[in-house]
Structure 1
Amino acid sequence: MERIFVGERAFSAVTGSEQWVVADSRSYELHQEGSAYLASLRARGCSPNTERAYAGRVALYLNYCRMRRLEWAEPGFLGLVGLQQWLVEVPLPPRSARARPGPTRYRSQGTANAVMTAVGEFLRFGAAHDWVPAATAELLSEPKLLRFAPPGYDCGESGQLRQVRAAAFRFKITEPGFEDLSSEQIRRMIALAPRARERFMVGLLACTGLRIGEALGLHRADMHLLASSRAAGCGIEGPHAHVRRRANNPNRALAKSRFSRYVPVTADLVALYTDYQYERDQVPQAADSPMVFVNLFRPPLGRPMSYPSTKEAFDRLARAAGHACRPHMLRHSAATRWLRDGVDRDVVQRLLGHASPLSMENYRHVDAAEARAAVEHVNWLRERS
């Protein structure tokens, strides 16, 4: 399919701030409604990475409509059904023009669901501004009866709230579940990391449960690692790190939570940070950066680490360790370990920066040892005194 619309990064002529738009790749003319929708994401404080992803998904939808000769504001039921199927049935283009021939790649149903979610939000946004007919917005959801309500959901005294609106165009997929790492795997990852910076990053995520965006957004002034930080104007005792949401980080790292918090750290993590600071001090270009994580081994030296470079570092570590190793797995491992060790759920919720206790449901797993202990405990075949 010939690409016409693309998601493009742009910079404001007034403020110089970065933003994403949807534009015609040949004429560079903006798609006004698509770009306005992205601006609404920005106004809501969404991450630049969310804005970038949605820019690509809106552009993909507009290209589909152009290919099928559909009005993007009135695709109709069949047009939306066709989009859902097209997303998983049409092969993906090569990653680059110079990529070696390989197996044909397709979008997963989960990826298709993510695109359909973005398309639905875009069309609802258009309906709210009278760009899209109300009839189109009504196609996007359908009534659904909740047979099993999620934890904490109030169905009403007579169950009248069990009737909800659910996405109409969504594949039913098996939830992949969440992966965590054992303590032995985490210690081995730290041992395998070739540089002090990577050792500290793995230790930080595993110790504190920070999101990768929160870690990359840390400033050196956020690291209060002395027994007392009163000299820095902080009354919190013991070594800790402050997690703050900043919209102007040069690497576009953004804390998901809008509420600042602090997370205590251990003496072992302080030692890893000390090793990293010694490594960092060997690169003069890094001296003036206020950010904790910076480029030390490839240009531009001293610039804050980006999401892509962090992913490359974890990919290298995964190859060395021989198992999957992603930043969020370390966050999940920290939460699972805290809950398994009996830490109060309210404490874990605060450490993770979750606004709702319902977000905690994903983090408690039963491991093989716990399952076996439960079965052995009620073994009716065993003689009891």
Structure 2
Amino acid sequence: MSPVDGSVLWVVVDADYELHPYTSAYLASLRAQEDASVNTERTYAGRIALYLSYCVDHGFDWAAPSMRKLAGFLHWLVDEPLPAKGPRAPVKPRYRSKGTANAIAGTAFRFLRYCALLDESPVSAELAAKLYEPKELRHAPPGYDRGEDGQFSTVDVKTIKFKIVVPGYEYLTDDEIRQLLDCATHARDRLLVAILAVTGMRIGEALGLRREDMHLLASSKVLGCDVAGPHVHVRRRQNANGALAKTRKSRWIPVGEDIGGLYADYQWERDRVLEAADCDIVFVNLFAAPFGQPMKYPSTYELFQRLAKKAGFAARPHMFRHSAITRWRREGRPDHVIMDLAGHVSRQSMDQYTHASDQEKRDAVNQVAALGKSL
């Protein structure tokens, strides 16, 4: 963590605590990207460290692995039990899924390909060329631009990977969201559920909200804001709890008057915890130590696990984002409006957030059946 501005930087060191220069360069290139998140940097640092450690333990040069060695790494990822989370050994060993192994190996491949582009790099261009192969994009997502001459019709895919079935993305119906609100016993938790459901913001963005971002009156001109109506600002900044908005571009999202009411209820609940008085973060710990400190993702994840157990169905923070974007698309909102609300930089990013409801699928089948009867 920087002593100057508090920003978090991730590095990889060897057994002698010496920086790995090529990993540092790669992680620095990630930070330079427009929509890079500190969470992405943390994840990639851990994956590359895992690859480098595997190379040391198995006695080969990380910069010059054979394709057989890389295949061995991929299979080791699923065969090797995961370390215990606590001091006690797990009753049943835990293993990585093939999808997780593909993601880790993919990060290692991107790292090697990046290193091959550097001057005086130990990674050869020949190795970098073997890591990926071109593949014809037969079924492009809706709105995908293949280019005037079809130059974007092929994509690079990893030459070594597990074949897996990609699971569908889950979302919550309006009725399920209402059930979760009913299951929340604290005003803070009801506000968090409502904020995620109404705004579609990422959980990192919600946990990074500050009280100065909550403009919940009809007019915010007294706060120096010309946006009319109640709304919430999403800004990328460093926060004590590690929460970070994914995109650097700030945005505001309109909300209803009900959010203002829920926020008022939460303020009354929060004011009873004296330790929270000096914290500017909206969502803080009120019911467990450290009191008054910003909520972090692990405790928030446990909160949604408890709500899901009470409600009787799966409910994770990111599912609210899928629900909001799906709702906006069903309502016929223009793509550029949805992109602005969601903080997306491309239309392709929205495709995974489109979900067909049971009724929509039923209506489509009935329409085809009616057409068949008329022939």
How high is the TM-score relative to the length of structure 2?
A: 0.92
1:165 shift after superposition: 2.5
Instruction: Please name the residue that 2:97 is paired with.
Output: 108
Structure 1, residues 42-62: CA drift from partner, whole Å, max 9, x if none?
344632222221121111101
- Alignment of 1:209 with 2:200, yes or no, is yes
Q: For 2:293, what is the secondary structure of its paired residue?
A: coil
37-46 or 264-273, which moves further after superposition? 37-46
1:350 shift after superposition: 1.6
Q: For residue 237 of structure 1, what is the amino acid of its counterpart?
A: A
Q: For residue 291 of structure 2, what is the amino acid of its counterpart?
A: L
Instruction: Please name the residue that 1:242 is paired with.
Output: 233
Q: Which one scores higher on RCO, CA 8 angstroms, separation ≥ 6?
A: 2
Question: What is the aligned length?
Answer: 372
Instruction: Please name the residue that 1:362 is paired with.
Output: 352
**What is the alpha-carbon distance in structure 2 between the residues aligned to residue 44 and residue 159 of structure 1?**
26
Structure 1, residues 115-165: CA drift from partner, whole Å, max 9, x if none?
012101221232222232222222221122222233333434554543433
- Alignment of 1:296 with 2:300, yes or no, is no
- Alignment of 1:319 with 2:309, yes or no, is yes
266-275 or 148-157, which moves further after superposition? 148-157
- Alignment of 1:131 with 2:122, yes or no, is yes
1:231 shift after superposition: 0.8
**What is the alpha-carbon distance in structure 2 between the residues aligned to residue 281 and residue 162 of structure 1?**
57
Instruction: Please name the residue that 1:183 is paired with.
Output: 174
Q: Give 1:33's match in structure 2, choosing from 16, 22, 46.
A: 22
Instruction: Please name the residue that 1:3 is paired with.
Output: none
The within-5 A match list for 1:94-173 is 94-102=84-92, 104-129=93-118, 130-156=121-147, 159=150, 161-173=152-164
Q: For residue 194 of structure 1, what is the amino acid of its counterpart?
A: T
**What is the alpha-carbon distance in structure 2 between the residues aligned to residue 316 and residue 141 of structure 1?**
42
1:178 shift after superposition: 1.1
Partners of 2:326 and 2:354 within 8 A in 1: yes
**What is the alpha-carbon distance in structure 2 between the residues aligned to residue 43 and residue 158 of structure 1?**
31
Q: Give 1:22's match in structure 2, choosing from 12, 16, 28.
A: 12
Q: For 2:77, what is the secondary structure of its paired residue?
A: helix
How has the CA–CA distance of structure 1 residues 295 and 237 changed in structure 2, closer, same or farther, with 3 Å as cutoff? Answer: same
Q: Give 2:52's match in structure 1, choosing from 35, 56, 62.
A: 62
1:369 shift after superposition: 1.0
1:97 shift after superposition: 3.2
- Alignment of 1:273 with 2:263, yes or no, is yes
Instruction: Please name the residue that 2:78 is paired with.
Output: 88
**What is the alpha-carbon distance in structure 1 between the residues aligned to residue 263 and residue 5 of structure 2?**
36
1:269 shift after superposition: 1.6
Instruction: Please name the residue that 2:330 is paired with.
Output: 340
Structure 1, residues 291-330: CA drift from partner, whole Å, max 9, x if none?
1111112222221111112112111212221211111001
**What is the alpha-carbon distance in structure 1 between the residues aligned to residue 27 and residue 370 of structure 2?**
61
1:14 shift after superposition: 6.7
Q: For 1:334, what is the secondary structure of its paired residue?
A: helix
Q: Give 1:286's match in structure 2, choosing from 270, 276, 279.
A: 276
1:364 shift after superposition: 2.0
How has the CA–CA distance of structure 1 residues 81 and 331 changed in structure 2, closer, same or farther, with 3 Å as cutoff? Answer: same
Q: For 2:11, what is the secondary structure of its paired residue?
A: strand
Instruction: Please name the residue that 2:66 is paired with.
Output: 76
Identity %: 54
1:16 shift after superposition: 5.9
Q: For residue 159 of structure 2, what is the amino acid of its counterpart?
A: A
Q: For 1:303, what is the secondary structure of its paired residue?
A: coil
1:15 shift after superposition: 6.2
Q: For 2:13, what is the secondary structure of its paired residue?
A: strand
How high is the TM-score relative to the length of structure 1?
A: 0.90
**What is the alpha-carbon distance in structure 1 between the residues aligned to residue 252 and residue 165 of structure 2?**
36
1:173 shift after superposition: 2.1
Q: For residue 372 of structure 1, what is the amino acid of its counterpart?
A: R
**What is the alpha-carbon distance in structure 1 between the residues aligned to residue 176 and residue 154 of structure 2?**
45
Q: For 1:199, what is the secondary structure of its paired residue?
A: helix
**What is the alpha-carbon distance in structure 1 between the residues aligned to residue 49 and residue 297 of structure 2?**
23
33-42 or 85-94, which moves further after superposition? 33-42
**What is the alpha-carbon distance in structure 2 between the residues aligned to residue 272 and residue 181 of structure 1?**
21
**What is the alpha-carbon distance in structure 2 between the residues aligned to residue 106 and residue 378 of structure 1?**
45
Partners of 2:141 and 2:351 within 8 A in 1: no
Instruction: Please name the residue that 1:5 is paired with.
Output: none
Q: Give 1:305's match in structure 2, choosing from 270, 291, 295.
A: 295
1:341 shift after superposition: 2.6
Partners of 2:208 and 2:245 within 8 A in 1: yes
1:41 shift after superposition: 2.8
